[in-house]
Structure 1
Amino acid sequence: SANTSFAMPHTRDLPTNILFNMDTPVIAAVNGAAAGYGLDMALGCDMRIGGTSTKLVPGFAKRGIVPESGGTWYLPRLIGWAKATEIGFRGNNLSAAEAKEIGLLNDVVADEDVLTVAKEWAAEIAANAPLAIQSMKRLFRHGLTEDFESHSHHVLLQTMTLFRTHDFKESVQAFMERRDPRFEGR
């Protein structure tokens, strides 16, 4: 059997695990090639913005290894089993257009605009109610492993909690006054 003594004893501290467990949305600005660990890091983000010359390089099989930082977990959840196995087993590079078509990139913009667009998306998200965004990310995450009935129960609990927040009351007041809400995260 293979010697696995070099393996990390605790994978919960891997950056991809930290990204997944964060309640804050994370946007990857992918400019150029995302290969190996960098590809796994991008897949671990909630959204990915790429440039026209962005290339995703899933060449693990061609190097005799597997995506060691979450890729085997993220890929089938992001794009389905058949596409994940095709990409993983064949190991062919994906252009930005191909990656967007199958859902690995949310948007493709001019290379010089990647970071700007990612920041614009972040600002748009940050303008929303932070407690609702955090709850939504937790619910998305838990929904990956829960049955529908359990998940619906958790959604109801989160909704009831959010109904009692200052931010929800502010959103109702802002709606009545026909103005944008001023969320405070409480």
Structure 2
Amino acid sequence: MEQAPRATQTESTEVLYDVADHIAVITLNAPERMNTISGPMLNDLTRLLIRANEDRDVRCVILTGNGRAFCAGLDLRKERSGDGLSSASSPTSLDLRNTPPTVLQSMDKPTICAVNGGAAGYGMDTALGCDIRIMAESAKLAAAFVKRGVVPESGGTWFLPRMIGWAKASELIFTGRTLSAREALEWGLANEVVPDAALMGRAREVAREIAANAPLAVQAAKRMMRMGLNETFPDHVHHVYLQLLPLFKTHDMQEGIKAFMEKREAKFEGR
């Protein structure tokens, strides 16, 4: 019987990291400032997302926040003191390899955002960058960019038209409107809404369901979905076939077939 991996924790204080049962939980941990993003926090989040993606033990990632907000955007106080987002890049360039939205978009591991409270600006874009969003009843998505004189700087202008269509994306971005959790569900920006106290339990339940499947197949499926956003159908079918061939040779595929024939749950090893 496969042993569950031992839980591990990081030494970071502004972003917490632990792994148990093939699930990595990354927690924004600056509740006193509503988890607004500073330069150091940005770097920690990037580093830990990459760590989770590279850890063979991890099969699903949950991103959440401590306190009453998921992430209230950029820490404007840090920006004024020179320790904000702008400190992570030069004035004329941004290292796209090391920003959470870009890292999230390139991750093969499935990601779940457990939106525990307000997700505004940068926080909203970060939530949208995850594959699945489960929102607490009290949570909100605030597209307040134009109200601050900026554009969605972290992927919102790319995500929203693809998620909800041009017209609804225009309405949300141009008005800078705030959506309640229920409105986010109606707009198609949340997978489900649960009572606040049930949020992490439900997120872990979905993560366990994902982690129980063959991880190489799950990751290949996500990779194909991402590639399909910018491919023609014939090109995409060809790439799917090339992904399928190595999966035929894996232990997990043989285990999946054997488990099906024996009418039992498969025990996948990620090889």
TM-score by length of 2: 0.65
Cα distance, 1:12 vs structure 2? 2.8
Cα distance, 1:7 vs structure 2? 4.4
AA at the equivalent of 1:128: N
AA at the equivalent of 1:177: E
Residue 95, structure 1, aligned to residue 180, structure 2: yes
Match of 1:138 in 2: 223
Within a 5 Å distance, the mapping from 1:1-40 to structure 2 comes to 6-40=91-125
Give the unaligned 5+ runs of structure 1. none
Match of 1:80 in 2: 165
Give the Cα–Cα distance (whole angstroms) in 2 for the partners of residues 103 and 132 of structure 1.
26
Match of 1:180 in 2: 265
Higher strand share: 2
Give the Cα–Cα distance (whole angstroms) in 2 for the partners of residues 71 and 160 of structure 1.
35
Sequence identity percentage: 58
Match of 2:149 in 1: 64
Q: Deviations over 1:129-161 (max 9, x none)?
A: 000001011001100100100001111111222
AA at the equivalent of 2:133: R
Q: Deviations over 1:52-93 (max 9, x none)?
A: 111110011111101111111111111111111110001111
The alignment partner of 1:24 has SS state of coil
Q: How many residues align?
A: 182
Give the unaligned 5+ runs of structure 2. 1-89
Q: Deviations over 1:7-66 (max 9, x none)?
A: 443223110110110100010000111001111110110000001111110011111101
Higher RCO, 1 vs 2 (CA within 8 Å, ≥6 residues apart): 1
Residue 114, structure 1, aligned to residue 181, structure 2: no
> Which of the numbers 225, 232, 239 marks the counterpart of 1:147?
232
Give the Cα–Cα distance (whole angstroms) in 2 for the partners of residues 90 and 40 of structure 1.
16
Give the Cα–Cα distance (whole angstroms) in 2 for the partners of residues 29 and 6 of structure 1.
33
The alignment partner of 1:50 has SS state of strand
Give the Cα–Cα distance (whole angstroms) in 1 for the partners of residues 105 and 204 of structure 2.
20
Give the Cα–Cα distance (whole angstroms) in 2 for the partners of residues 128 and 23 of structure 1.
14
> Which of the numbers 131, 134, 137 marks the counterpart of 1:46?
131
My pick for the range that moved more, 157-166 or 107-116, is 157-166
Cα distance, 1:106 vs structure 2? 0.6
Higher helix share: 1
AA at the equivalent of 1:180: E
Cα distance, 1:6 vs structure 2? 2.1
